[in-house]
A and B are shown apart, each in its own frame.
Chain A
Amino acid sequence: MGRFAFVLRRPFQLIPVIIGISLITFVLLQLTPGDPVRVMLGSRASPEAIQEMRTRYGLDRPVIVQYGYYVMNAVQGDLGQSLAFRSPVSKIIAQRVAPTVYVLVYGLALSTLLTLALAVPAARSQGGFVDQLVRLVCVTVVGIPSYWIGLMLIMFLGLQLKLFPVSGFGPDPLANLWHMFMPALTIALAITPILTRNLRATLVAQMNADYVTAGRSKGLPESYVFWRHVFPNSLLPTLNLAGVIVSFLIGGTVIVESVFNIPGLGQLMVRSVLTRDYFTVQGVTLVLALGVVLTTFVVDVLTVLLDPRVKL
């Protein structure tokens, strides 16, 4: 049990992180010029209507007072009202979490399959044709922007071959395996080359390690050496890299969400920042921060499971 004691400690480490993040976002937003009320009412709105709205949402109070109210309400589970939608932020975020999480997890799953399918044969034929081919593909794909990949998928798989819908989030998780395939593939194509190169390099390094030579000299079959010893020992660096990449992807899904018109958190975040929808930005930041912390946590648990020597 001792190795897993960190599971209990983690939630407490979260508190200063969240306070820090919320304070920074709040101050940064207030420092950014621009008036949210003007944006939501339209340009010809009368000054009276604008003043009325400011008063209603407390925007005419000093920043420090606004932050105080925000924290007091947040502690009680109330994230405030979205200025643009005039609805509770928590409700708006709740509608947006599922599409983002789904496309992320789906993309990650596809990427895991692709990475294994590419890195393992490449490493096992080190310097050979397959290896060269995989490396070439990785270098090529990693240089292509996601936005372009998404558009090309829409054009060829969606419009020309009509294999997949060009946009939107499907009605249920099963239907979404089909609906979300192209966005998930776009994400997978963006991260697979990085993971593949990393995993291949580790596999190659491990295959030249002393313990592998020892195993071989004992007469162990090559595939046994690879799957039993080399492979498990090579996963850790790639897992940690994947953790970092996923943290970046959380909140960075906006391009994929925009190209495939998925109503997710990334789109919500961007529109909220641009319209200075203060409380929505705060709320989404909080959720994204939790997502990052959760990802790190999962990676830690997996690390401990994979490597008996690790103690956190």
Chain B
Amino acid sequence: MRRRRFLQGVVGVSALSVAPLGARSARAQAGNVLRMGLNSEVLTLDPIKTVYGPDIIIQGIMFSRLLRANADRSEVLGGLAETMEISDDGLTYTYHMAEAHFSDGSPITAEDAAFSLTRLRFQKDSAYVAPFDAISEVKAADAKTVIVTLSRRFTPFVTLPELWNAGIVPKADVEKKGDEEFARNPVSSGPFRLVEWRQGDRVILEKNPTYYRAGLPHLDGVELIYVPDDNTRLSMLQAGDLDMMIGVPAPRVQEMIDLSFRAQPETSSVTNCLLINHAAEPFNDLKVRQAVNAAIDRAAIAETVTSGFASPASSVMAPALDFFNADLPVPTRDVGKAKALLAEAGKEGLAFELMVSAGIVDDERSAVLIQSQCAEAGITVNISKVDSTQQWTRLTEGEYQATLGWWYNETRDPDSALRWAVCGTCGNQSYFTRFDNARVNELIEIGSAETDEAKRRATYAELQQITYDEVSYVPLYYPPYFNAYSTRVQNLILNPHYQFSSIDETSLS
């Protein structure tokens, strides 16, 4: 998932500080329906077709999985599957499913589960296969038993079927409607089902009366409303036109708390980083990477960009993930060391281009700070602003020297995170930085095949140490999620992995 705030760039919205305004009006409060304000729009309802923010939120709400997570995903529990058995060789996972029904009343069978997971793993246009590529076969042993066979021992799979894209879809409905129509108007298996999708505006969901968890959901419905402008979203929340919103600009968080909204930042799994291209001058030189690493003041950037809500980063992955190496210190700024390293490398007078996505206010601020911090170490940073689509293209094609990026992880287990961020053999060239370290690649495979927790911890600690020493990229800060909720909203948080996993237990007071 990547941040997409399209309209900001054009409208030139900056966080406008305004005086606190009285309490919300009761005018627009609408019954027992939760109205959520999103900062990007929903594009598809088919869980296998996307890895994009608002889509994975709504798919998580519309489709139940074999496993489910508690509110903050600290625990993964039985979902549509009541029990699970893992064979001794770790290659066969057997799931025993409970009685359950789709939103059209038809039963959810092992056949549907096998169909959904097979589709996720093997269909050509399945968008995010990477974490599931260990699956070699999924089949229904009987009406309520699903057997997943893996091609290799793969410990992260224990919790993976909880992911949004492993949502169980009705085989009959998909085959009858075809993929395109299903993506617009699906029969669902989760706590809510589709009423109407006004594309580019809102998705209206209602309670699914046949939801498998008895007595749930508490809400009569959910509306996901797309509001591109941050300040407008805030106004709507204040006016009572929304019950919660995603994406409060950091400078306005305190104001919302003072207005008695629940706006305390929520723990995320996000890392913001300076991505550098290892395949090109000047960052193919370790000393240059270390010099820039030493020139940058992470604490100052975190303080300025997120109003002090983020913590400066040390490891390539966020502290919310399992096996985060807390022994790595946050590198302190050392201009003298940066200059010395450049002199050793013979790269005095270094200059590089920093590509920034225009209109993403946080990145523009970070870029200016990096520019001035590097200048003190004798490094010239030329900021070039491009639009977000072009930034992405140049990043993936390697036509850049440095750029700003961020990423989150969908599981607590770090496997998919590391495959995304630092793996040279996993298809994306280490988040397109072209970092390719044989030992790191090997450690990723060792870690994912290991079942002993202490050994996994040691493996991932070594891995994080290498990427730290090698400066695979420059981790800048770990930001929280900035959301705000009306005090009416009970039992709802956005978990670190970008899912509202307890929304079936949410209520409005």
- Known pairs A254-B11, A271-B7; A42 contacts B128 (CB<8 A): yes
Stretch binding the partner chain, chosen from A5-13, A212-220, A237-245, A256-264: A256-264
Closest approach, in angstroms, between the C-beta of A71 and any C-beta of chain B?
A: 24
- The reply to whether the CB of A168 lies closer than 8 angstroms to some CB of chain B is yes
Q: Do B6 and A270 have beta carbons less than 8 Å apart?
A: yes
Residues of the B chain whose Cβ atoms lie less than 8 Å from the Cβ of A255:
11
Do A166 and B184 touch across chains, with their CB atoms under 8 A apart? Answer: no
Chain A residue at minimum C-beta to C-beta distance from B399: A33
Q: Which of B17-55 contact A (CB under 8 A)?
A: 18, 21-22, 25, 27-28, 41, 43-44, 49-53, 55
State whether A159 touches B428 (Cβ < 8 A).
no
B199 touches A92 (CB 8 A): yes
Q: Smallest Cβ distance from B390 to chain A, in angstroms?
A: 5
Which listed residue, A45, A160, A270, touches B128 by the CB 8 Å rule? A45
Q: Which of A190-207 contact B (CB under 8 A)?
A: none
Q: Contact: A85 with B199, CB < 8 Å?
A: yes
- In the complex, A252 Cα to B34 Cα: how many Å? 33
Q: Which A residues lie within 8 Å of B393 (CB)?
A: 33-35, 38
> A135 an interface residue at 8 Å Cβ cutoff?
no
* A 263-291 binary contact with B (CB < 8 Å = 1; else 0): 10001101100111000000000000000
Which stretch (B135-143, B228-236, B483-491) binds chain A?
B228-236
A267 touches B228 (CB 8 A): yes
Closest-by-CB residue of B relative to A159 is B21
- Is A48 a contact of B2 with CB atoms below 8 Å? no
Q: Known: A44-B51, A166-B232, A263-B201. Is A52-B125 also a contact (CB below 8 A)?
A: yes
The answer on a CB contact under 8 Å between B235 and A158 is yes
Q: How far is the CB of A39 from chain B (nearest CB, A)?
A: 6
Contact of B390 among A34, A40, A159, A167 (CB under 8 A): A34
Residue from A96, A166, A276 having most chain B Cβ neighbours under 10 A = A166
List the B side residues contacting A45 at CB < 8 Å.
Answer: 50-51, 127-128
Q: Which of A42-96 contact B (CB under 8 A)?
A: 42-49, 52-53, 56, 84-87, 92, 95-96
How many angstroms between the C-alpha atoms of A86 and B46 in the bound complex?
12
- Contact call B232/A167, Cβ cutoff below 8 A: yes
CB–CB A86/B183 < 8 A? yes
Number of interface residues of A (CB under 8 A): 53
Complex alpha-carbon distance, A165 and B29, angstroms = 12
Residues on A with beta carbons closer than 8 Å to the beta carbon of B93: none
**Which residues of A lie under 8 Å from residue B129 when comparing CB positions?**
46, 48-49
A159 with B200: CB separation less than 8 A = no
Q: Is A43 within 8 A of B227, CB to CB? A: no
Give the number of residues in B that approach A within 8 Å (Cβ atoms). Answer: 62
CA distance A52 to B125 in the complex (A): 6
Question: Taking each of B13, B27, B53, which has the highest tally of chain A beta carbons within 10 Å of its own beta carbon?
Answer: B13
**Chain A residues with CB below 8 A from B201, complex form:** 95, 263
**A101 interface residue (CB < 8 Å to B):** no
Chain B residues, CB < 8 A from A43: 1-2, 51, 392, 407
Partner of A167, one of B2, B7, B227, B392: B227
Q: Could you say which residues of chain B place their CB within 8 Å of the CB of A52?
A: 124-125
The interface residues of chain A lying within 8 Å CB-to-CB of B507 are none
Q: Do residues B236 and A42 form an inter-chain contact, with CB atoms below 8 A? A: no
Task: List, in ascending order, chain A residues with CB within 8 A of B6's CB.
Answer: 270-271, 274-275
| B344-394 interface with A by 8 A CB criterion | 387-390, 392-394
By a CB distance below 8 angstroms, the chain B residues around A33 are 389-390, 393-394
A86 CB contacts on chain B under 8 angstroms: 43-44, 180, 183-184
Docked Cα-Cα span, A84 to B42, in Å, equals 9
Complex: A268 Cα to B201 Cα, angstroms: 10
Q: A84: which B residues are within 8 A, CB to CB?
A: 43
Q: A261 and B229 in contact (CB under 8 A), knowing A49-B127, A92-B199?
A: yes
Chain B residues engaging chain A, CB cutoff 8 angstroms: 1-2, 4, 6-7, 9-13, 16, 18, 21-22, 25, 27-28, 41, 43-44, 49-53, 55, 124-130, 180, 183-184, 198-201, 227-229, 231-232, 235-236, 238-239, 241, 387-390, 392-394, 396, 407, 420, 427-428
Q: List 17 A-B contacts (CB under 8 A).
A: A38-B389, A40-B52, A43-B1, A46-B129, A46-B427, A86-B183, A95-B199, A151-B231, A155-B21, A159-B235, A166-B239, A167-B227, A167-B241, A258-B7, A258-B232, A259-B11, A261-B229
Closest 5 CB pairs of A and B: A42-B51, A34-B389, A42-B52, A263-B201, A52-B125
Instruction: List 7 additional contacts besides A86-B183, A259-B231; criterion CB under 8 Å.
Output: A33-B394, A44-B1, A49-B129, A95-B201, A155-B235, A258-B7, A271-B6
